[in-house]
Amino acid sequence: MREKRLTEAELMKARQAILQIARRERRSVDEVRQEMVEALRIGLSDPDPRIRAAWQEIPCAGKIPTPEKVIAWSTRRIKRKITDH
φ, ψ of residue 29 to 5 degrees: the values are -60, -40
pLDDT band at 2 (very low <50, low <70, confident <90, very high): low
Percent of the chain with pLDDT over 70: 95
Domain limits, the chain: 8-84
Percent of the chain with pLDDT over 90: 65
DSSP code per residue over the chain: -PPPPPPHHHHHHHHHHHHHHHHHHT--HHHHHHHHHHHHHHHHT-S-HHHHHHHHTS--SSSS--HHHHHHHHHHHHHHHHHH-
Rounded average pLDDT over 19-23 = 98
Instruction: Pick 62 or 16 by higher pLDDT.
Output: 16
pLDDT of residue 52: 86
Residue type, 21: I
